[in-house]
Amino acid sequence: MPRRFTRRDALAAGVAAALGSVAGCSGRRSESRFWDDPPSLDVAAVPRGFDEPVPEAPRLVPVDVEPAVAAAFADRVDRLLGPIPDPLTAATLPNGEIRAQIETERAAAREALPGPDETLPPLRTAERYAAARDHAATATGTWAAVTVEGDPEAVAADIGTVRRRASDTLSSLPGPAADPLAGAAAYGPIERWYDESRRRTLVGGNAGPAGRANPLRVGESVGDAERVQSYVEAGRYLRDRYRESLDDSVSVAEPLRREAERLGAEIGDRLRELHGGETDRLRSNPGTEAFLDDRPVARDAPSASLLSTAAYRTFEDLRFDPVPVDDYEPDHPATALTRTALARTRLRALDAVASRIENGETMFPDDAGAVDTARDAAVESAASLAGGENPLGRWLATEFLRLFSESDEALASDERTARSTVEACTAYRWIEIVAREGRTVAEAVEASLGS
């Protein structure tokens, strides 16, 4: 029998799990709690692969990237990598750490390029080319930093220029769209490229290569500038191509802003409930006990761990995302609506998980087949959201579909354990729940905008 604990015990366990999540974000395996004596599970009987494929990422921008444009982005990667000797030997570059970074980044650049047989949505295509150009510029920037004739500042545009180009592009968004929801889905991800770049990548006195002494850091700063420049080019191209594709269009900025504020008010009300009316740290994690009543729940059960981890991630994003809670007014309407809808969806999903915990659900699979069943349910829920007609729902699906990869890889691993198997199963349960709540939120937004 599992041990039982109260809301106060739940809070302590939640903090421990959240700290484990922090470690996981740094690239190390989370050390969160797991049952000391869990129910038995025949891990060997759990499938390593599944018949049901993960749904394709939905198309948010209803245009294609023309072959000539794709070829130009790929050519930029080739030209960036041109100065680096191939092969790069120890005789040419004795420093093993620097040589390893150049070789790793060069290989990553080529791997990130979309293959000739890959069919990707335009936003994903743009992200792949940006990643490829980032890796290529990092490799060449590092090489330029250790060669006499090299000039890292000549590899990519300087930070000031890239920052200005990103700001200019961001100021043109959101543009006209078929309707507000279509505008949110099409312009929101593009806005976020530049918003995040201006707030994180392109800030600080050492953002450019001139402020770095270590060749490894010099290369990385060159890669950062090239990635954002790639986003600038791709964003302007997709913006213009989308606008040209519209037969009829409307201005969407104000409707998106108003709807983000309406959703933000709902989130603010829920946060005040979770914090017991205290408003000093409204966006901070109130702990898992805030989602549970006084009934005891199973200590260290997968469901309790899920609640803790999902709450940590939800509030970590809520701290920094442009969600209009209280008097905060976001600058970019499409980003504001999409990220606010995501926050609202996650909070509803946390409430749903808490309700299941209070009803005694541990989310430990009864047998090997239960893992397959959980994944099938997650695929069905995500596919319904991704394949729906609501553009906001399709955008939300893109956030949840990426969650499959880690669990699928864990189950395919030769080193999987009972713990990694159960955690994968629990992640599938979260996808099922959060995708279902995403449909509810997207439908409510559509109804509000249409009223």
Partner residues linked to 4 by β-bridges? 298
d(Cα 368, Cα 384) in Å, to the nearest integer? 25
Where are the domains positioned within the chain? Answer: 4-33+253-450, 67-245
| 207 phi and psi angles, rounded to 5 deg | -65, -35
3-state class (DSSP) for residue 28: coil
Q: CA-CA-CA-CA torsion for 306, 312, 314, 319, nearest 10 degrees? A: 180
d(Cα 45, Cα 366) in Å, to the nearest integer? 12
d(Cα 340, Cα 235) in Å, to the nearest integer? 22
At residue 411, the pLDDT reads 97
At residue 7, the pLDDT reads 36
At residue 2, the pLDDT reads 35
At residue 231, the pLDDT reads 98
At residue 326, the pLDDT reads 87
pLDDT in tens, the chain (451 residues): 333 333 334 333 443 333 233 223 333 334 445 666 678 899 999 999 998 999 999 999 999 999 999 999 999 999 999 999 999 999 999 999 999 999 999 999 999 999 988 889 999 999 999 999 999 999 999 999 999 888 999 999 999 999 999 999 999 999 999 999 999 999 999 999 999 998 888 876 567 787 677 999 999 999 999 999 999 999 999 999 999 999 999 999 999 999 999 999 999 999 999 999 777 889 999 999 999 976 666 667 999 999 999 999 999 999 999 999 988 999 999 999 999 999 999 999 999 999 999 998 999 999 999 999 999 999 999 999 999 999 999 999 999 999 999 999 999 999 999 999 999 999 999 999 999 999 999 999 999 999 7
Contact present, 225 and 208 (Cβ < 8 Å): yes
At residue 200, the pLDDT reads 85
Burial class (CB in 10 A: 0-12, 13-18, 19+), 201: buried
Report the alpha-carbon angle 364-365-369, nearest 5. Answer: 175
At residue 198, the pLDDT reads 87
CA distances from 420 to 32, 297, 322 (A): 12, 22, 34
Q: Return the CA Rg of the chain.
A: 24
Give the distance from CA 133 to its chain's centroid.
20
At residue 49, the pLDDT reads 92
At residue 15, the pLDDT reads 34
At residue 40, the pLDDT reads 87
At residue 365, the pLDDT reads 95
At residue 340, the pLDDT reads 98
Contact present, 291 and 274 (Cβ < 8 Å): yes
At residue 33, the pLDDT reads 55
d(Cα 325, Cα 335) in Å, to the nearest integer? 15
d(Cα 444, Cα 329) in Å, to the nearest integer? 21
At residue 110, the pLDDT reads 98
Residues listed for the chain:
451
